Amino acid sequence: MVGEKGLEEFREQVDLGNRSGTSLDTYEQRWRTPVRPRIEGLSISELTVGRADSIVQTINKEYSASTARTVRAILSGVCGLAFRHEALKVNPVRDARPVENRKRKKAARALTADEVLDIFAKADADEIAQRQDLPDIMRFYGGTGERTGEGIVVRWENIGFGKKVAWVEGNMVRTKADDAKINEGKSANALRSVRWPTGSWKCCSIDVLGWRLRRASGPKN
């Protein structure tokens, strides 16, 4: 099937380092669930502009604009592959309507200091959270604003205690193709420095990390 062949080419690009394993996981999931059931049994010549447009717009209504855009990219890749092998004279997906986002996103809101401290207090009182070191991890995220994958790969040498700065140098990702590995990111913002806040709850992150470092480097029993 042309779609499976398209995924094989995508995997080859992942192996070459030109595409990410997370993108491959997303494409494979979208191909199996919303795409393949809608085109299975069709010849590639039957995937007309109207049919491609109908598939994409229906998925936009049933799922989301993000899913529909991914599906559009998958269908375009499938038809592009067929075009390169001269099974199609044009790529019909190019003339399908663009995906419109019908849902208005809510504006993001930062937590207040009181809300953050309340979350920390609840984690401190939870035995399971304490065994998993979650209170300290949460304080690190609260102080730096880093994402989970970024915080996991931070090492002691990435933290400037004197200047109260943390350096982000990668992101932990887990994919079927690569398992777990450190990804350097797609943009310049993926590698950056982050300053700790100077407000009333600054001690919730930098001081805790300093205590953990002293405990880790202290004398062993």
Torsion of CA 160, 216, 118, 203, to 10 degrees: -40
Amino acid at 103: K
Strand partners, 193: 167
Task: Indicate whether 51 pLDDT > 90.
Answer: yes
For the segment 4-14, what is each residue's pLDDT rounded down to a tens digit? Answer: 888 888 888 87
Which string of b and e fits 82-94 if b means at least 16 CB within 10 Å? bbeeeebeebbbe
Of the spans 9-13, 54-58, 211-215, which averages the highest pLDDT? 54-58
**Per-residue pLDDT averaged across 36-63, rounded?**
92
Q: Would you state the pLDDT for residue 214?
A: 60
What is the rounded CA–CA span in Å between residue 131 and residue 123?
Answer: 11
Token code pair at residue 44: 């590639």
Token code pair at residue 47: 């995937």
**CA distances from residue 149 to 41, 52, 135, 158, 185 in whole angstroms, order as listed:** 41, 36, 17, 15, 11
For the segment 109-160, what is each residue's pLDDT rounded down to a tens digit? Answer: 888 888 988 998 999 999 999 898 888 888 878 777 777 888 778 777 877 7
From the list 2, 69, 87, 83, the residue with the least C-alpha distance to 36 is 2
Half-sphere exposure of residue 26, counting CA atoms within 13 Å on the CB side?
Answer: 14
Q: Would you state the pLDDT for residue 48?
A: 93
> Which percentage of the chain shows pLDDT scores above 90?
29
